[in-house]
Structure 1
């Protein structure tokens, strides 16, 4: 493959980052209006948490086939299909007449959005040698989505209703679809001979997933991913019920977390390229843990602001985690392998929504968010063991 020009590479990276901004933002819109959904459908946090875990689980399951499809047919085609499916499914979600139908359409949204990130990441790594930095840009766009979509969704939802707030996602997805069609080049498929039967080649899956360094990386991803699930699903509701904020203010605070995350992810990507992936991940997990502790234990406005800042800076792990996955894969495994690893770690992490929802129903938000502290601590223990005992994972 002839290497594209610098301007083409920059345009492509920005375009796929815009698509990532949209596909994640559409899902974050749902989290932003959970307080309104609880009232409208007269349902429980456990029920909404189960629906969101379903959405994120299907999102995770779609990662693997999307990688295989990108290998076989090229990233451009899969990216287009993912954005089209995202636009259609979130439009239907806005029309849901009951919580059960809402959950079904949430599954469809998870499937459409889940086809996007693996081919977008593979395309970025094909274009850039500084993969940590390129993936940092891609993942940071998702954090920017966390700034815009929840804040807008919270304000619009309170003023015009949750259906209008969610419907905004369909318009943005159509815009991203048009941008991708015009600006993203159709590079030759990385592995056009890839058999679609590889999706069910369980022996091959086992061989890849049981490599010690790969299994270790998946475990790290699942642990920090649990935190992401908990925050994206219930942070605004936590702020409303535990900290006493209004729905609109909670949406703005939620957006502030993702704004800080967007900035921090650029630095985390560079840190992982310059020093090590694990250094960047450990720093992220430590700061996130400090943020959750502050939000739970410090009741003042200062505690609220400090907790939001720490949590936002702490959620900077996605770029280093994705880069760590690519470090473990051979060139011919990248589309297939990256999709598989994302499916496994995100499927495990998707439990964050239902676990936090159930614990919050049964024991209050101290129990719900306390589970996040346990999981982040486990991540730091794994990182420490790898370093202190020179395991080489």
Structure 2
């Protein structure tokens, strides 16, 4: 396998704010755990420098007036806010260099898709990507620029068909929005149900419009969905649809906020189902560009993305964290010792409700989406 890890020390040099749940130190911790396991020397290529992203790419999705405001606020010396564009509130703060930082991550995703389509790489993983909530003219959910949409638009412009899979705990609403009316991109999102959870979208009846009818797929999961149910949703919806669609490129958002110890979410998966999904995605043997995404327990993020990178390279890891990494995180207050978790089962009553919901979702998708995708591409 020819693989690339997109990582820059500059990923962690900005700050959303001391009290903001999104901590950019996650990138350094993930890279340090990969290094401790020997995954940055000889396991794939570490790409630390790559071309900047320009207006032509950004304007393929984002509105000119929105980009102008991003640039204006980025250069301002005093705090700024414009709630019309979702900028300057608690969720999406305007901090020094925020647009530079968003462009750095977006450029990494553009480079990842270039590597797998032009340079013969099998997998490329951009740690600082996955900003799936950014809309055409509005920041949302800690996302200012939608890197996946910008990168996928490049691929579509070259005639490529793309499958986008999102396993973050939050619905990939911005990506769905961008491709809701096209059959050139199949979007699939497994996420915590929007009935009570941000961004309040991503239900089974959101299946696309026009030529895109049947090409938007959503599996909303109830709180307490555990490993077995998460794997069930993947195996019975995502995997067969991706295989049938048989895209030229697979783009995945592999956020780690689905983990049961994440402070902002109520799903209950562990490294067990996360590892399983990574192995299944690799087995598809489709050129694969992965981007990071959410995760608000930094050690969960480091563990998840190290597992993903090891899987891409076919490396089996010790279930115990390396001693050097344990020494690094101990002064930060983390007592973690294990990379891998045991498979987790939710309490029976919670699990039964979650099982009923996922079976209902699967049945609805089989009735509405499968005839389109399997019928046209299977």
Q: TM-score, normalised by structure 2?
A: 0.26
- Between the two structures, name the one with larger relative contact order (CA 8 Å, sep ≥ 6): 1
| Larger helix percent | 1
| Larger strand percent | 2
